[in-house]
Amino acid sequence: MTSSQRQISIEKNLRFFREHLDVLIKTDPGRYVLLRNEEIAGVYDTIRDAKLTGEKFFDDGDYSIQQITKKPVNLGFFSYAGSALTAQ
Amino acid sequence: MPVLHLQHNNTQLFINVLILPLGTPADLIGGQTDLNGPTKPFRALVDTGATSSCITTKVASAVGLDPVGRVSVQGVAGVADLNNYLFHVGFIENVQSDQGQTLAQVNVLNREITGAEVNSGGHFDVLLGMDVLSTGTLIVHGNKHFSFSF
């Protein structure tokens, strides 16, 4: 799968994840959800476990992982430096 | 416990680090190795105000990392969704061999790190946040030296 196809897949999975976040955060706050084709493939305690499971079962690389949280990361001073958040 | 003794410029702290993919051999993790092979060090800014570490697009590309998902990052204009990566961080330490030579050894942190992909404007390659720093002890001295042990 190309990097652009992967990016599209990640965005679709993210949209699906956001639609279900209110429910997930009640049942599995802080855990990591493995997503494939806009479906939940599993929920794991660590991102490593989710990643290893994704690699094991989806060798085409078409999966993504989201942490079940609504709290954004804060990059400290750099968050407020203006150009920080312009990467893809 | 590895101890890095480094110098600062009275304004910011920088450390040379290696960013390694998740598939790094298990015997390297939490251990030590000579610095060789295709890996190259990146310039990392130490930021105790950051809850999480991050890497630039250049680093993700150079290491060959694929994003594992997206992460929400707080910024001055609100929250942005950025690519999120999973990797190991290795710290480079100069050690003396039995023959008196100075060798560069890599001490790999004993846990995986997740980091957003950001544009640093060339200021740094990696930002080391509290997810990394809280694994050890960071001491800043007034004589332009600092140390990090983990």
CB < 8 Å to B54, chain A? 73, 75, 78
CB < 8 Å to B133, chain A? none
For residue B37, the model assigns a pLDDT of: 53
Q: Is the ipTM, as predicted for this complex, more than 0.85? A: yes
For B38, list phi and psi in degrees, rounded to 5.
-80, -5
Q: Comparing C-alpha atoms, which of B58, B64, B63, B71 is closest to residue B114?
A: B71
Best mutation target among B43, B114, B125, B131 (most A Cβ atoms within 10 Å) is: B114
Give the model's confidence band at A58: pLDDT under 50 very low, under 70 low, under 90 confident, else very high.
Answer: very high
Are residues B73 and A76, on separate chains, in Cβ contact within 8 Å?
Answer: no
pTM: 0.88
- Greater model confidence, A83 or B117: B117
CB < 8 Å to A72, chain B? 71-74, 79
Number of compact structural domains in chain A:
1
How much is the average pLDDT of B70-77?
Answer: 86
Helices (DSSP H) in B7-145: which residue ranges?
Answer: 57-63, 130-133
Find the distance separating the first CA and the last CA of chain A, reported in whole Å.
18
- Greater model confidence, B3 or A66: A66
Q: What is the CA radius of gyration of chain A?
A: 14
| Per-residue 3-state assignment (H helix, E strand, C coil) for A69-84 | CCCCEEEHHHHHCCCC
- Greater model confidence, A82 or B62: B62
On average, the pLDDT of chain B sits at 86
Give the model's confidence band at B110: pLDDT under 50 very low, under 70 low, under 90 confident, else very high.
Answer: confident
CB B60 within 8 A of CB B83: yes
Using one digit for the tens of pLDDT, what is the confidence trace for B28-41? 555 555 555 556 88
Looking at the complex, report in whole angstroms how far the Cα of residue A26 sits from the nearest Cα belonging to chain B.
19
Residue A71's domain comprises 3-85
